[in-house]
Amino acid sequence: MHVLCVYIHMMWPSNSLPTTQLSREPSDQLFDFDGFSFCYLSFLCSGSISGGENFDQAMVTRTIDLRSDTVTKPTETMRLAMAKAEVDDDVLIYDPTARHLETEMARITGKEAALFVPSGTMGNLISVLVHCEVRGSEVILGNNSHIHIYENGGISTIGGVHPRPVKNNEDGTMDINLIESAIRNPDFEICYPKTRLICLENSHANSGGRVLSVDYTDQVGELAKKHNLKLHIDGARIFNASVALGVPVHRLVQAADSVSVCLSKGLGAPVGSVIVGTKSFIDRARILRKTLGGGMRQVGILCAAALVALQENVGKLGNDHKNAKTLAEGLNKIKGLKADVASVETNIVYFEILEGSNITALKLGKFMEEHGILLMPDSSSRVRIVIHHQVSASDVQYTLSCIKQAMTGVENGGN
Ligand SMILES: Cc1ncc(COP(=O)(O)O)c(C=O)c1O
Ligand SMILES: C[C@@H](O)[C@H](N)C(=O)O
């Protein structure tokens, strides 16, 4: 008998629920039962079910979204803050809530100034282009970095900046000596582009959220200074790195001339990133933001949510990392799967489907979707899971239970 796992969860703020008021006080229990696990959520009905409302109408199934930490929905506190936000025209540099967020981010990162931008991709693009505003510039970056892989080559197609990829190690670093040997010899400028910038990424997404240490970052910073180069950090998940290392963000990015910080990832804001640097850097970044169409008007509505995220969610990142580690450990106990538990330092988990498991990542993804769980297949045999503050410990257990069911089913010739 298949037990249908119905995950009952409020999907909308309680004040807009139909007559049925459910106070979500879940006590999630997960039982292994005859090979099928079922999880149930017991909750207290605090309101009466009136009129023709039957209980089912109050029940909504909930999707456990593990595709990325970019998928979080704004919390009720964020929505209230957005609704009440003080706003003005931010192109005219007057939106008070944007100013508040930018001041706060400059303080947290220990930089002179900050600028709200619509996305991390635009944050990286603007930063690279400001540092490399002379045509024929070259940037040294990881061959497995987000800027090099996932940003449509914007630094070249839009900025005319030439990328000089250096091999990323499994921990997200690039060997210092390889970085130094990638720096162009200025005496041969008749042939060579001019190296102007080095880019790091911390935490490093494609390496499974591995964190770059302060010492390593400082060493790259020293190298940049030695060769009169600038250092940019793609800090989409810098808060995850900070929490994982137990090092304040401002110390982690001390060596950087600029950082792009995503508010819309682990911090859980609905939109946006902030770039930080010197005041003159930010002044030039602001102009380039406008050139790229990123200057927005009453942007305080978005910045208000980000301010709530900074207050509410930084403290939850450690729990995300704990859940990611638990997930990786659990995956390793499932026959046919392999996860490198030791390499799980933050909120990202990659796992391999081993040879002979008779199921592809795509098929596993489809099976999981039927059970209300979304994953991101990375290849035919590799899957990425990203934990965020809207994934609970019982969600992790339910996920493991369903993956086990999928793998067992295949082993027994099912699915
Ligand atoms: C490491 C890293 N940098 C930059 C980005 C770009 O951010 P956005 O999606 O907001 O453009 C992402 C992912 O989204 C990322 O994972
Ligand atoms: C896919 C990638 O662009 C995105 N940054 C993510 O990590 O989900």
Written as one letter, the residue type at 210 is: R
Distance 73 CA to ligand 2 centre (A): 16
- Phi (first) and psi of residue 132, to 5 degrees: -120, 45
Nearest CA-CA partner of 405 in 360, 368, 355: 368
Distance 138 CA to ligand 1 centre (A): 21
- Phi (first) and psi of residue 65, to 5 degrees: -100, 105
- Closest ligand 2 atom to residue 70 Cα is 8
- Closest ligand 2 atom to residue 376 Cα is 8
pLDDT digits (tens, 9 = 90+) for 370-396: 999 999 999 999 999 999 999 999 999
Residue 309 region by backbone torsions, left for phi larger than 0, else alpha for psi between -120 and 50, else beta? alpha
Q: Is 267 in the pocket of ligand 1 (CB under 6 A)?
A: no
Distance CA 66, CA 396 (A): 10
User: Considering only CA atoms, which residue is closest to atom 8 of ligand 1?
Assistant: 120
Distance 72 CA to ligand 1 centre (A): 14
Q: Which residue has the tokens 């911390």?
A: 202
Distance CA 372, CA 196 (A): 47
Q: Are 316 and 343 in contact (CB under 8 A)?
A: no
Return the half-sphere exposure (C-beta side, CA atoms, 13 A cut-off) of residue 392: 13
Mean per-residue pLDDT, 98-125: 98
Q: Is the ipTM reported for this complex over the cut 0.90?
A: yes
Residue 113, beta-bridge partner list: 277
Provide the pLDDT confidence category of residue 255 given band limits of 50, 70 and 90.
very high
pLDDT for the residue 59: 57
Ligand 1: which of 68, 116, 127, 150 to mutate, judged by most atoms within 8 Å of the beta carbon?
150
Mean per-residue pLDDT, 296-323: 98
Nearest CA-CA partner of 129 in 163, 148, 155: 155
Q: Are 161 and 132 in contact (CB under 8 A)?
A: yes
- Closest ligand 2 atom to residue 236 Cα is 5
Distance 75 CA to ligand 1 centre (A): 21
Q: Is 150 in the pocket of ligand 2 (CB under 6 A)?
A: yes
- Closest ligand 2 atom to residue 205 Cα is 7
pLDDT for the residue 53: 44
Distance CA 22, CA 399 (A): 25
Distance 121 CA to ligand 1 centre (A): 6
Distance CA 291, CA 119 (A): 15
Distance CA 148, CA 168 (A): 11
Ligand 2: which of 65, 66, 67, 68 to mutate, judged by most atoms within 8 Å of the beta carbon?
68
- Which of the two residues, 61 and 127, has the higher pLDDT score? 127
- Which of the two residues, 192 and 414, has the higher pLDDT score? 192
Q: Which residue has the tokens 């090099």?
A: 148
Mean per-residue pLDDT, 259-270: 98
pLDDT for the residue 51: 41
pLDDT digits (tens, 9 = 90+) for 26-66: 334 444 434 444 444 433 343 333 444 454 444 557 899 99
* The dihedral formed by the CA atoms of 248, 249, 255 and 259, expressed in degrees to the nearest 10: 180
pLDDT for the residue 55: 43
Written as one letter, the residue type at 234 is: D
Nearest CA-CA partner of 241 in 271, 262, 270: 262
pLDDT for the residue 413: 62
Q: Are 229 and 183 in contact (CB under 8 A)?
A: yes
Mean per-residue pLDDT, 326-355: 97
Print burial letters for 325-363: b (CB count within 10 Å at least 16), e (below 16).
bbbbebbeebebbbbebebbbbbbbbbbbeeebebebeb
Q: Is 220 in the pocket of ligand 1 (CB under 6 A)?
A: no
- Closest ligand 2 atom to residue 68 Cα is 8
Which ligand has an atom closest to residue 120 CA? 1
